[in-house]
Amino acid sequence: MGLYVETRIRTDPETLWERTQDPGRHQRWDLRFTEIALLPEDGTEDGAGDGPRRFRYATRVLPFLVVAGTGVSAGERHRAGGDRVSALRFASAHPLSLLAEGSGYWRYVPTADGVRFLTGYDYRPRWGRFGRAADRLLFRPLMGWATAWSFDRLRLWCEHGTAPERSRDRWLLELAARALLVALCAAGPGAAATLPLACAAALLVPPSSRVPAARRCLRVPPARTREPRLLDTLEQP
């Protein structure tokens, strides 16, 4: 898989499953999506079913631009080893979507104090050579960061009960405070001396423990990983 993100969450597997498999809960913490909804023919939206479910996703790229696509997912909650897995395939026919189609999985591995939660996914960009260059230089790093940031946002929700909307607001406030520090130093006397220090502080000072941060997640697989067999059972939407 092209992208990998892993975190450890001190919660029970059932809570984590519900907050990742239910579309309404999923869209609350995942920065990559503005809306996720099951298609009408798939019935229940409570995340209880393990069979294939078709869904529609949308991302608001700009205030006036929403890029949408469709997907199919399936899960296995009751495996012999005690872990859980879900897999999905997705595609977008929107001409402004750099992402044409892709696939991925989530694994839920119980640990002594919670769950090791990880994902691997990859996709095919469109727009030919330009799209591949834009993906490599900008879009793929951004997707990796957004996935890791979202995983940490989910962790705060599960471990501390911090609503995803509240943790987002705290992150924005901290981001604004760092930007204000840099702006004040740039406009004040002795900017040549203080501005580099302000920039270094804004970039290097660790975020608050109650603010989502992508840096808290593992971004490189610890060993060779394999896609779950469940992924082979899903057709491309």
pLDDT value, residue 40: 83
What is the mean predicted confidence (pLDDT) over 88-102?
93
| Per-residue pLDDT, 30 | 97
Quick one: pLDDT at residue 121?
96
Considering only CA atoms, which of 72, 64, 134 is closest in space to residue 99? 134
Residues counted in the chain = 237
Report the amino acid identity of residue 90: F
**Is 90 exceeded by the pLDDT of residue 79?**
no
Long-range contacts of 80-84 (CB under 8 A, 24+ apart): 82/110, 83/107, 83/108, 83/109, 83/110, 84/13, 84/17, 84/108
Q: pLDDT of 206-219, one tens digit each?
A: 999 999 999 999 99
pLDDT of residue 49: 53
Q: What is the DSSP string of 97-160?
A: -SEEEEEEEEEEEEETTEEEEEEEEEEEE-SHHHHHHHIIIIIHHHHHHHHHHHHHHHHHHHHH
Mean pLDDT computed over 4-16: 96
pLDDT at 47 over 70: no
Q: How confident is the model at residue 147 (pLDDT cuts 50, 70, 90)?
A: very high
Residue 44's identity, in one-letter code, is: T
Which is it for the CA torsion 35, 36, 40, 44, positive or negative?
negative
Q: What is the pLDDT of residue 188?
A: 79
Q: Which residues contact 53 (CB under 8 A, 6 or more apart)?
A: 38, 42, 72, 73, 74
Contact 202, 178 (CB under 8 A): yes
pTM assigned to the model: 0.91
Position 48 confidence tier, pLDDT thresholds 50, 70, 90: very low
Q: DSSP state, 188?
A: S
More confident residue, 4 or 63: 4
Q: What is the pLDDT at residue 100?
A: 94
Please give the average per-residue pLDDT across 153-173, as a whole number. Answer: 97
- Whether the predicted pLDDT of 107 surpasses 70: yes
Calpha distance 118→120 (Å, rounded): 7
Overall average pLDDT of the 214-233 stretch: 88
- Provide the residue type at 57 as one letter: Y
Domain 3-162+213-233, CATH 3.30.530.20 — does that match? yes
In the chain, where are the structural domains located? 3-162+213-233, 163-209
SS3 20: helix
